[in-house]
A and B are shown apart, each in its own frame.
Chain A
Amino acid sequence: MKSFELVQPATLEAALETLPAARDTKARDSVKLLAGGQDLLGELKEHLVAPDTLVNLKRIPGLDRIEHGADGSLTLGALVTLARIENERAIRERFTLLAEAAGAVASVQIRNQGTLGGNLCQRPRCWYYRHEQAVCIKKGGSECFAYGGLNKYNAILGGGPSYIVHPSDVAPALVALDAQAVIRGKRGERRVPLEQFFTLPSEGSVLRENVLTSEEILTHIVVPAPGAGSWRSTYLKFRERGSYDFALSAVALRLSLDAGKVREARLVLGAVAPIPWRCEKAETALVGRKLDAETCEFISRLALEGAEPLEHNGYKIPLTQGMITKALRKLAN
Chain B
Amino acid sequence: MSLDPRTTLAQQDEPPRPAAPGKKWVKSVRVQNGIDTEVWEEVDIDSGASGPSWGARKDLRLLNHDLPRVDAPDKVTGRAVYTHDVRVPGMAFAQVLRCPHPWAKIVRIDLEPAKKLPGVLGAVVLESEEVKWVGRPVVAVAADTPEHAEDGVRAVVVEYEVQRFAITPAQSQAPDAPKIAGNRDNVRVHETEGELADAEKALAECDAVVEGTWRVPVQHHACLETHGVVVDYRGGDSATVYASTQGTFTINSDAARKLKLKGSQVVAVVEHMGGGFGGKFGMGLEGDAACKLSLELKRPVHMLFDRASEFLAAGNRAGGVHVLKAGAKKSGELHAFIANVERHGGVGGGSNQKQPYIYRPATSHTQVKSVLTNTDSSRAMRAPGHPQMSFAMEGLMDDLAYAIGMDPLEFRIRNVPDNRRTDYERQLRQCAELIGWNSHPHRTAPNRSNDELKVGIGFALSTWGGGGGPECKVEVRLLPDGSVEVLSGTQDLGTGTRTYVAAIVAEELGLELNQVTARIGRSSYGAANASGGSTTTASLAPAVKHAAWNARKALFQHVGTLLGVKPENLRIAGGRIEDSTNPESNWIGFKDACAAVGGQGISAQGEWQRELASNGVGGAQAAKVQVDTLTGEIQVLHMVGVQDCGLVMNRIATRSQLNGGMIQALSYGLFEERVVDPDLGIVLNANFEDYKIAGCKEIGLMQPVLDDGDERNGVIGMSEPAVVPGQSAIANAIMNACGARLREMPLTCDKLLMALRGAKRG
Contacts and interface: CB of A to CB of B under 8 A. Distances in A.
Interface of A: 1-3, 47, 125, 127-128, 130-131, 133-134, 145, 149-150, 152, 238, 240-245, 248, 312-316, 318-319, 322-323, 325-326
Given A242-B695, A319-B749, 13 more contacts: A1-B150, A240-B749, A241-B671, A241-B694, A242-B635, A243-B696, A243-B697, A315-B749, A318-B632, A318-B757, A319-B753, A323-B631, A326-B630
Interface residues of B, number: 35
Contacts of B689: 125
A263 B90 CA distance: 72
B630 A149 contact: no
Contacts of A125: 689
Given A319-B631, A326-B630, A145 B151 contact: no
Interface centre among A152, A238, A318 (most CB of B within 10 A): A318
Contacts of B696: 243
A1 B695 CA distance: 28
B685 interface: yes
Contacts of B690: 127, 130
A2 B671 CA distance: 33
Contact of B698 (A128, A150, A243): A243
B151 A133 contact: no
A131 B690 CA distance: 11
Contacts of A128: 677, 684
B631 A322 contact: yes
A150 B675 contact: yes
Nearest to B699: A243
9 contacts: A1-B150, A127-B675, A128-B684, A131-B682, A145-B680, A243-B695, A315-B632, A316-B750, A322-B628
B754 interface: yes
Given A241-B694, A243-B694, A243-B695, A150 B631 contact: no
Nearest to A242: B697
Q: Is the interface of A mostly helix, strand, loop or mixed?
A: loop
Interface in B71-128: 100
A282 to B, nearest CB: 18
A238 B632 CA distance: 10
Contacts of A3: 147, 151
Given A243-B694, A243-B695, A238 B631 contact: yes
A326 B631 contact: yes
B748 interface: yes
B760 to A, nearest CB: 10
A255 B312 CA distance: 48
B749 A248 contact: yes
Contacts of B454: none
Nearest to A238: B631
Interface centre among A242, A316, A326 (most CB of B within 10 A): A242
Contacts of B150: 1
A240 B748 contact: yes
B474 to A, nearest CB: 42
B234 interface: no
Given A149-B679, A315-B754, A242 B685 contact: no
Interface in B673-694: 675, 677, 679-680, 682, 684-685, 689-690, 692, 694
A133 B698 contact: no
Nearest to B750: A315
Given A3-B147, A322-B631, A127 B695 contact: no
A26 to B, nearest CB: 21
B633 interface: yes
A131 B692 contact: no
A48 B365 CA distance: 52
Given A3-B151, A127-B675, A325-B630, A240 B692 contact: yes
Q: Which 8 A-B pairs have the closest CB atoms?
A: A243-B695, A315-B750, A322-B630, A127-B684, A243-B697, A322-B631, A242-B697, A315-B753
Contacts of B632: 315, 318-319, 322
Contacts of B151: 2-3
A323 B692 CA distance: 22
Contacts of B100: 133
Nearest to A321: B630
Given A150-B684, A325-B630, A326-B631, A241 B692 contact: yes
Contacts of B692: 240-241, 245
B219 to A, nearest CB: 15
A125 B635 CA distance: 25
Contact of A149 (B680, B748, B754, B757): B680
A134 B689 CA distance: 18
A177 B618 CA distance: 57
A43 B695 CA distance: 24
A127 B685 contact: yes
B695 A134 contact: no
A134 B676 CA distance: 12
A177 B671 CA distance: 34
A47 B308 CA distance: 13
Given A315-B632, A326-B630, A326-B631, A134 B749 contact: no
A133 B680 CA distance: 9
Nearest to A244: B695
A1 B748 contact: no
B119 to A, nearest CB: 10
A314 B684 contact: no
Contacts of B757: 318
A181 B632 CA distance: 36
Contact of A318 (B670, B694, B753): B753
A318 B692 CA distance: 23
Contacts of B750: 152, 312-313, 315-316, 319
A126 B679 CA distance: 17
Nearest to B101: A133
A313 B679 CA distance: 19
A134 B682 contact: yes
Contacts of A133: 100, 680, 682
A72 B698 CA distance: 39
Contacts of A238: 631, 633, 749
B607 to A, nearest CB: 46
A114 to B, nearest CB: 14
A108 B245 CA distance: 33
Interface in B651-676: 670-671, 675
Nearest to A127: B684
Contacts of A242: 635, 695, 697-698
Contacts of B753: 315, 318-319
Contacts of B633: 238
Interface string B44-59: 0000000000000000
Nearest to A313: B750
Nearest to A314: B754
Contacts of B635: 242
Interface centre among B630, B633, B696, B757 (most CB of A within 10 A): B630
B445 to A, nearest CB: 25
A149 B168 CA distance: 14
Contacts of A134: 677, 680, 682
Nearest to A107: B695
B116 to A, nearest CB: 15
Contacts of A150: 675, 677, 684
Contacts of A326: 630-631
B695 A149 contact: no
Contacts of B682: 131, 133-134
A238 B754 CA distance: 16
A283 to B, nearest CB: 22
A319 B756 CA distance: 12
A315 B749 CA distance: 8
Contacts of B748: 240
Contacts of A323: 631
A318 B695 CA distance: 26
Interface string B151-174: 100100000000000000000000
B170 to A, nearest CB: 14
B694 A145 contact: no
Interface string B727-762: 000000000000000000000111101100100000
